[in-house]
């Protein structure tokens, strides 16, 4: 029988609701209810919200408080039992696939405990259409991060401000922190009628906020995208990503298979091993380095190489199917690896997509996400300079941003 431990997320919501704050109606459904098919209370909750048609299902694992915000997912789904089960299964699946690397890294670097996904409970809330705002107090001031506006068709980039759109947000945030008795990160949904709903609070009292030093320069690039602008210098171990070089290796293996006269069933294994080795290399680097940068010489393979690799073995369809599937999966492995970097250095075509936690969560106070770029028209010139300097995977790099916002990258 599964032991029911109420997660911090559910406990704090209950405390805030009892404290008179505007928390949407919600229910915590423990993992034991899913295992034992005990859904009477859930059915009653859903019957009260049939008019909503859909709900938000938020992860609520007993160990979730030990992980950074956004590690486990929240999903919109239909307001029925089938929708709730589907959402929980997807949350578990994402944790085991898309979020697997970030979970492993937090276990390696943050001392986060192991996760038994059979104990995954959920919090169910009616869907509230609106925009997401995250608040936290840093030093002697509050800051508010705005993101994911579901109301307006034209979307804006995430941004941080010390002046919220409604002064009530500042007053509510201070009252919530006073009520809970510790520094906290608070997530709100601002409804279409400007009602302020509290949907999550997280204890951040144990997270350090430190300054970082500055060093000298090497190669000047064209710009940087970042939400926080206090710090103008950082150092990172770097992974040099070249999808072009990777695809050339795969194509070379294909040539050996087609032109070498060797038994195809044996040689396809060599190609798949090459792809698997590439994936292992990325995962090992991410596990070995708590914070790291990716220098993207080529993040996406050139179109012609992509087409060649995906059609080289067309004369042997079964082998080509295996190769195409492996390359398709490799794309998602590389994407998960990219999402773990807090610094992307690449041409001005790529940027790290920012959700609310990535843009302005408490973990970004010390290590905000940076996208450092050079303009597309300068690509060939910058690549020549980078190669002449000799950047390679495992090097440490420094990034210095001057008063004009121009970044300089150098190899330490």
pLDDT band at 2 (very low <50, low <70, confident <90, very high): very low
Report the 10 Å Cβ neighbour count for 175.
14
372 pLDDT above the threshold of 60: yes
State percent of the chain over pLDDT 70: 87
Q: Which residue has the higher pLDDT, 359 or 249?
A: 249
Q: What is the DSSP letter of 344?
A: E
pLDDT digits (tens, 9 = 90+) for 101-153: 999 999 999 889 999 999 999 999 999 888 889 999 887 789 998 875 655 55
pLDDT digits (tens, 9 = 90+) for 257-303: 777 655 554 478 888 999 999 999 999 999 999 999 999 999 888 88
Q: What is the DSSP letter of 59?
A: E
As a whole number of angstroms, the distance between CA 411 and CA 278 comes to 24
pLDDT of residue 213: 33
Backbone φ, ψ for residue 59 (5° rounding): -60, 145
pLDDT of residue 212: 31
Average pLDDT, the chain: 85
Cα 341–Cα 365–Cα 114 angle in degrees, nearest 5:
60
pLDDT of residue 4: 62
364 pLDDT above the threshold of 80: no
Q: Which residue has the higher pLDDT, 265 or 222?
A: 222
Q: What is the DSSP letter of 162?
A: S
CB 225 within 8 A of CB 351: yes
pLDDT of residue 393: 94
Instruction: Identify the helix (H) or strand (E) that includes residue 65.
Output: none
* Lowest-pLDDT choice from 98-102, 131-135, 154-158, 170-174: 154-158
392 pLDDT above the threshold of 60: yes
In terms of Cα–Cα distance, which of 149, 144, 94, 124 is closest to 199?
124
Largest CA distance in the chain: 76
As a whole number of angstroms, the distance between CA 42 and CA 26 comes to 10
CB 176 within 8 A of CB 124: no
Instruction: Identify the helix (H) or strand (E) that includes residue 403.
Output: none
pLDDT of residue 350: 62
> What stretches of 243-390 adopt beta strand conformation (E)?
293-298, 343-347, 370-374
- Residue 165 CA neighbour count, 13 Å, CB half: 16
The sign of the torsion formed by the CA atoms of 29, 67, 240, 409 equals positive
pLDDT digits (tens, 9 = 90+) for 83-95: 999 999 999 999 9
pLDDT digits (tens, 9 = 90+) for 9-68: 999 999 999 999 999 999 999 999 999 999 999 999 998 887 778 899 999 999 999 998
pLDDT of residue 208: 60
In terms of Cα–Cα distance, which of 309, 314, 257, 321 is closest to 278?
309
pLDDT digits (tens, 9 = 90+) for 342-355: 899 998 766 566 55
Highest mean pLDDT among 162-166, 248-252, 311-315: 248-252
pLDDT digits (tens, 9 = 90+) for 180-215: 999 999 999 998 888 899 999 999 887 765 333 333
Instruction: Identify the helix (H) or strand (E) that includes residue 299.
Output: none
The model's pTM: 0.65
330 pLDDT above the threshold of 90: yes
């Amino acid at each position: 029988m599964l032991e029911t431990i109420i997660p911090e997320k559910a406990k704090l919501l209950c405390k805030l609701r009892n404290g008179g704050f505007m928390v949407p109606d919600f229910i915590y459904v423990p993992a034991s209810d899913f295992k034992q098919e005990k859904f009477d209370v859930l059915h009653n909750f859903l019957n009260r919200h049939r008019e909503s048609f859909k709900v938000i299902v938020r992860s609520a694992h007993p160990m979730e408080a030990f992980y950074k915000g956004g590690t486990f997912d929240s999903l919109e789904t239909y307001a029925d039992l089938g929708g709730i089960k589907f959402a929980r299964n997807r949350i578990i699946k994402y944790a085991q696939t898309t979020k697997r690397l970030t979970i492993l890294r937090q276990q390696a670097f943050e001392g986060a405990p192991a996760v038994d996904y059979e104990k995954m409970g959920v919090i169910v809330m009616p869907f509230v259409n609106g925009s997401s705002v995250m608040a936290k107090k840093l030093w002697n001031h509050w800051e508010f991060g705005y993101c994911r506006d579901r109301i307006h068709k034209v979307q804006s980039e995430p941004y941080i401000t010390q002046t919220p759109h409604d002064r009530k947000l500042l007053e509510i945030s201070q009252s919530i922190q006073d009520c809970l008795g510790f520094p906290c990160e608070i997530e709100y949904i601002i409804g279409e009628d400007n009602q302020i709903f509290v949907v999550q609070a997280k204890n951040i009292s144990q997270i350090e906020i430190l300054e970082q030093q500055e060093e000298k320069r090497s190669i000047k690039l064209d710009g940087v995208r970042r939400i926080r602008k206090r710090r103008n210098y950082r150092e990172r171990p770097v992974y040099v990503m070249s999808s072009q070089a990777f695809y050339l290796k795969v194509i070379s293996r294909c040539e050996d298979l087609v032109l070498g006269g060797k038994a195809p069933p044996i040689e396809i294994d060599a190609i798949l091993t090459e792809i698997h080795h590439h994936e292992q290399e990325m995962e090992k680097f991410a596990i070995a380095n708590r914070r790291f940068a990716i220098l993207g010489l080529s993040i996406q393979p050139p179109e012609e190489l992509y087409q060649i690799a995906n059609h080289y073995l067309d004369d042997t369809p079964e082998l080509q199917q295996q190769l195409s599937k492996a390359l398709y999966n490799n794309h998602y492995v590389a994407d998960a690896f990219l999402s773990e970097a807090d610094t992307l250095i690449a041409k001005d075509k790529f940027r790290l997509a920012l959700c609310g936690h990535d843009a302005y969560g408490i973990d970004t106070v010390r290590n905000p996400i940076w996208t450092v770029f050079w303009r597309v028209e300068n690509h060939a010139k910058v690549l020549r300079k980078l190669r002449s300097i000799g950047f390679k995977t495992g090097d440490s790099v420094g990034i210095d941003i001057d008063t004009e916002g121009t970044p300089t990258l150098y190899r330490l």
